[in-house]
Structure 1
Amino acid sequence: MDLLNTTNTTRGGGGGAGNKQCNWLYFIINVMMTLVLELHLIWSSLLPISYSAAIVTHLPGFPGPLPFHLETGYVGVGGGESSEDVQLFYYFIKSEKNPEKDPLMLWLTGGPGCSALSGLLFEIGPFFFVVEEYNGTLPKLVLKPHSWTQVASIIFIDSPVGTGFSYSTTSQGYETGDLKSSEHLYQFLTKWMINHPEFLNNPLYVAGDSYSGKIVPLVIKGIADGNEAGNEPFINIKGYILGNPVTDQVFDNNKQVQYAHGMGLIPDELYESVKKSCGGNYVQIDPTNVHCWMDMLSFYKCTLGLNPGQILEPLCFFASPKPKEMVVGADGRRSLIRQKSSDFFTPLLPIPLVECRSYAYSLAPNWVNDNRVRNALHIRKGSIGKWERCSYGLRYSVDIQSSIQYHANLSEKGFRSLIYSGDHDMIVPFLGTEAWIKSLNYSILDEWRSWIVDAEIAGYTRTYSNRMTFATVKGGGHTAPEYKPKECFAMFKRWISEEPL
């Protein structure tokens, strides 16, 4: 194939030698481009798109065969009917109870950009790392007693594209955002259901935590709209679950000051002063309001030594950090005050690394990036480079500043919902979540009360007439199942069975 126009023009005398040199140069470039094109065609043929799946019976680091059904695979999605440049990777674990009848759940991890494997390993999945000092050998896996897969089949998906093992065959495919990723997820579900028709009649729930609080309602709306339009297959969507959800910047971030005061982290005098000087707005501060800026600087000086993901646990940011919402507002921008005040903060007491909760995060890349593990998970060779637990270099657009209106829309359609918050999370304080739920103005059916696990108060809950249940998880952080797995499993098991918490 002639890829270049080899007609040359020369200037002045000596054109013959110049033409020969140019012709040789164009010939070499032509050959190189032809080789690149052929290599691309070979590459494309080696990476089948649309749909692929494989059963995983053994995992390196886990002794013996897996005692549950694990499937991994890719589903191709994209901008048009024939476009499948985006390849979304998933882990599917069948319910260990009764997969023929138990609910099916699609789980989205937050970020945006945190791998599904993070939710599977550190939150609600059936196995976890043995946390011990890394010695260069493959980290070991152990079963978890409070996996949500005991009562539901769960699809853990790497979304958006560029997260975990999900990739694009084109550069343009990596451009994504709130709206596009939710569209991709609807396409994913449609194609996954076609290839798993045995689950078409199972009740479906979409769930997630942290930044997924903005995405899950969009996905539910897409499914509902598709069903109403008569799209096939019909998806038996029943509701959604959100944990510590990013929802609305004003509600989420403006409650951090009130939360800190209620937890005894700042004194009464500072709280009263900052309320007055900032007028209750701690997110978008007038640059000329010097008094407010000084009060907020004092606020951050009081709280920067804390772990905002769980204020009772040590701040181990020298290990792999918690998700990005720890230092970034719901609009994707860092607070100037927090950015500047962090410059002078240094942990006063060194903490042994292995004793930090985040130490387990550092084990994940050592396990996932081992070729034996990648082969066992059936990862396409060459599709991505190094796996990261959370990828923050995504070409991602924050399209939705608030998802409250989507919740109102879904309430009108009658979907069930469970919204829960770890009450020791200062990233997305439960006060903010409670406030936007109240703003929907639905009447209360079951007034504020405690819910119990093993004869102890596990948190507090309230149920509204729009079939929305709000629950706090006592002692839970960002996100709650990582810190309180037993209590969160009990909460999920009761709610998914349509029992009161």
Structure 2
Amino acid sequence: MGYVLASPGVDRYQEENMKVLYAYQRSLISEALYKSMKENCNGDYVSIDPQNTKCVSDYEAYSELVRYINEQQIMEPLCATTPGLNREMLQELQDPPTFWCRVDYYHIFVDKWANDENVRRALHIREGTKEEFLRCNRTMAYAQTLQNSVQYYRNLTKANLEALVYCSDLDMSVPHLGTQHWINSFNMTIRDKWRAWFVDGQVAG
């Protein structure tokens, strides 16, 4: 038994803060700007003191550089800001064209994948326990939103459960750097060293 987390928002402060380092590592901002931000903002890019004019100026420069980046997939166009004519031209290049912008299909592939019988068997989902996977269960009413749920996952490490936590290296909305940070805070023994993984003989990550 276990659970799967896909690009989970677990520590929102850390994840927001890691966006600057992520942007630097992906060459979305210059080394000079990153070093200036690190020094002027003291490594805190979330709780910025408005009196710290150097930090504010640096953050404004950073924000302008990443303004038109699609945070959920930095290699894809940000369709909300793509001018109508250009968007049409981009879509005409695709087959099928309606799948160019993620907003058009709202992650339907995740639902299709998770509900595939082969996937369900591979994940050892017992027949009859869960009829259908829903990426977002909108029938659940939440009284509050937790900004940090690290402790919950730390407690789960004491249970007899397996966990699969994965992130996209192209996801800036929940940078993998933030995910690695809270996982590393558990101080667990590393069983396998960092390595490449393959799909059909090709390096996939």
- What range describes the TM-score normalised by the shorter chain of this pair? 0.7 to 0.9
Alignment correspondent of 2:61: 298
The 8 Å contact of residues 249 and 402 in structure 1, kept in 2 or not, is answered as: yes
Alignment correspondent of 2:2: 239
Q: What letter is aligned with 1:416?
A: E
After TM superposition, give the deviation of residue 269 of structure 1 in Å: 0.4
Aligned residues: 169
Say if 2:194 is the partner of 1:448: yes
Q: 1:300 to 1:348 in 2, by over 3 A?
A: farther
Alignment correspondent of 2:163: 417
Distance 1:302 1:281 in 2: 18
Q: What letter is aligned with 2:101?
A: R
Q: Which runs of no fewer than 5 residues in structure 2 stay unpaired?
A: 92-96, 109-134
Distance 2:136 2:3 in 1: 23
Q: What letter is aligned with 1:272?
A: K
After TM superposition, give the deviation of residue 273 of structure 1 in Å: 0.4
Higher gyration radius (CA):
1
> Any idea what SS the aligned residue of 2:80 has?
coil
> Any idea what SS the aligned residue of 2:70 has?
coil
Counting only pairs closer than 5 Å after superposition, residues 260-271 of structure 1 correspond to structure 2 as: 260-271=23-34
Counting only pairs closer than 5 Å after superposition, residues 133-212 of structure 1 correspond to structure 2 as: none
Alignment correspondent of 2:127: none
Q: 1:413 to 1:287 in 2, by over 3 A?
A: same
Q: 1:446 to 1:391 in 2, by over 3 A?
A: closer
Say if 2:42 is the partner of 1:273: no
Distance 2:52 2:194 in 1: 39
After TM superposition, give the deviation of residue 412 of structure 1 in Å: 1.0
Alignment correspondent of 1:132: none
Identity of aligned residues (%): 40
Distance 2:145 2:171 in 1: 25
Alignment correspondent of 2:113: none
- 1:454-495 per-residue CA deviation (whole Å, 9 max, x = no partner) reads 111111xxxxxxxxxxxxxxxxxxxxxxxxxxxxxxxxxxxx
After TM superposition, give the deviation of residue 407 of structure 1 in Å: 0.9
After TM superposition, give the deviation of residue 395 of structure 1 in Å: 7.6
CA RMSD in angstroms comes to: 2.7
Distance 2:199 2:149 in 1: 31
- 1:429-468 per-residue CA deviation (whole Å, 9 max, x = no partner) reads 1111011100111121111011111111111xxxxxxxxx
> Any idea what SS the aligned residue of 1:445 has?
coil
The 8 Å contact of residues 239 and 415 in structure 1, kept in 2 or not, is answered as: yes
After TM superposition, give the deviation of residue 306 of structure 1 in Å: 1.3
Counting only pairs closer than 5 Å after superposition, residues 53-132 of structure 1 correspond to structure 2 as: none
After TM superposition, give the deviation of residue 403 of structure 1 in Å: 1.1
Say if 2:151 is the partner of 1:405: yes
Distance 1:391 1:279 in 2: 39
- Say which structure is richer in strand: 1
Q: What letter is aligned with 2:2?
A: G
Q: What letter is aligned with 1:358?
A: R
Counting only pairs closer than 5 Å after superposition, residues 360-399 of structure 1 correspond to structure 2 as: 360-361=104-105, 396-399=142-145
Alignment correspondent of 2:18: 255
- 1:33-57 per-residue CA deviation (whole Å, 9 max, x = no partner) reads xxxxxxxxxxxxxxxxxxxxxxxxx
After TM superposition, give the deviation of residue 418 of structure 1 in Å: 0.4
Q: 1:262 to 1:347 in 2, by over 3 A?
A: farther
> Any idea what SS the aligned residue of 1:298 has?
helix
The 8 Å contact of residues 312 and 424 in structure 1, kept in 2 or not, is answered as: yes
Q: 1:313 to 1:349 in 2, by over 3 A?
A: farther
After TM superposition, give the deviation of residue 396 of structure 1 in Å: 4.6
Normalising by the residue count of structure 2, what TM-score does the alignment of the two structures yield? 0.74
